[in-house]
Structure 1
Amino acid sequence: MKLTLVQGDITQQRADAIVNAANSSLMGGGGVDGAIHRRGGPEILEECRKLRAGQYGKGLPTGRAVATTAGRLPARWVIHTVGPVHSRSEDRSALLASCYTESLRVADTLGAASVAFPAISTGIYGWPMDDAARIALEAVRQADTAVTEVRFVLFDAAAYATFEARL
């Protein structure tokens, strides 16, 4: 598997699938989630509503992943995953790793060869970037997947430098 890093906007990535650091409601929000919903258009929200009306009536559980259309984004699919909120008193690193492995599992079911990930849980959920980079890279490297390209799309220079040092 080819691992690459890009500094930029995940909503502009040409990949089979981009991963959304979603909240459990799947109804959009701030950060990456809000940007994907705004740029992708109402088609994404429409599919998320259907998921909420069906099997995810109580929301998408932390560490799980589900796919929708990418709407107007330059990708085929959006894979939504809910990252854990960072805690100093509880080790939630397995849940964060699961976001990556579950997203790759969903990508495999779709037949996606390329997947673009943000740095999940590092925004409002407060996960320290260095630890998040370690967990993300380990999870992706150890994943049993047919995906041939994983791209980490980091929003700013500091996040890019942190992932680069870990890569």
Structure 2
Amino acid sequence: MNFETVQGDVAAQSADALVNEAGTSLRMGSGVAGALRRHAGPEINEEAMSKGPINLGDVAVTEAYALDAEYVIHAAAMPHYGDGQATTESIRSATRNSLETAEELGCTSLVLPALGCGVAGFDLEAGATLIGETIAAYQPETLSDVRFIAYSDEEYAIVEAATEQFADA
């Protein structure tokens, strides 16, 4: 499986599945969720919320609407906004469940952001390392291309340094 870190806007990526950094309510507010909602259209938020709430670490799947993907996997690495922060276990579970769900859907490519970091309160470097470890330990059946996306130059530098030991491991 090809695993690499890329820089850009998750909503502008082309892949079988894009991962949304969701809270347990699945309400698509700001950050990654907001970017995906703006590009996909309001229907994605309506469909996502109809599938929630979900447990911390779990995922839900929606159509991708106007995004260049088949699916959006909404990974709840953090509690509902304002109800606490992401944890080591919620980040690992959300990452693993995103990978497993992509496989169940028959996806070959997946793009995911730094789940549980940023507004979710988890340190980016530590979170990126957890995500990189989880991806590297995963034994794919259909996934052949996994991209860990970072938006800003600063975020990309941190994610790249934290995951370089896992890339194409």
Pick the TM interval, shorter chain.
0.7 to 0.9
The normalised TM-score by structure 2 is: 0.87
CA deviations 1:69-92 (Å, max 9, x no partner) are 0010011110001113547xxxx3
Equivalences, count: 157
Give the C-alpha shift of residue 46 in structure 1.
Answer: 3.4
- 1:17-166 aligned at under 5 Å gives the runs 17-52=17-52, 59-84=53-78, 85-86=84-85, 92-146=87-141, 147-166=143-162
- Please give the alpha-carbon distance, in whole angstroms, between the structure 2 residues aligned to 1:163 and 1:133: 6
- Give 1:46's aligned amino acid: E
Tell me if the contact between 2:28 and 2:45 (Cα under 8 Å) persists in the aligned partners: yes
CA distance in 1, matches of 2:118, 2:128: 13
TM-score using structure 1 length: 0.88
- Is the 1:43–1:69 contact (alpha carbons within 8 Å) kept by the matching residues of 2? no
Which amino acid in structure 2 is aligned with residue 118 of structure 1? P
Percentage of identical aligned residues: 34
1:21·1:82 contact (CA, 8 Å) conserved in 2? Answer: yes
Contact 2:7 2:152 in 1 (8 A): yes
Task: Map residues 6-17 of structure 1 onto 2, 5 A cutoff.
Answer: 6-17=6-17
Q: Which runs of 5+ in 1 are unaligned?
A: 53-58
Specify every segment of 5 or more residues in structure 2 that has no aligned partner in the other structure, as ranges. 79-83, 165-169
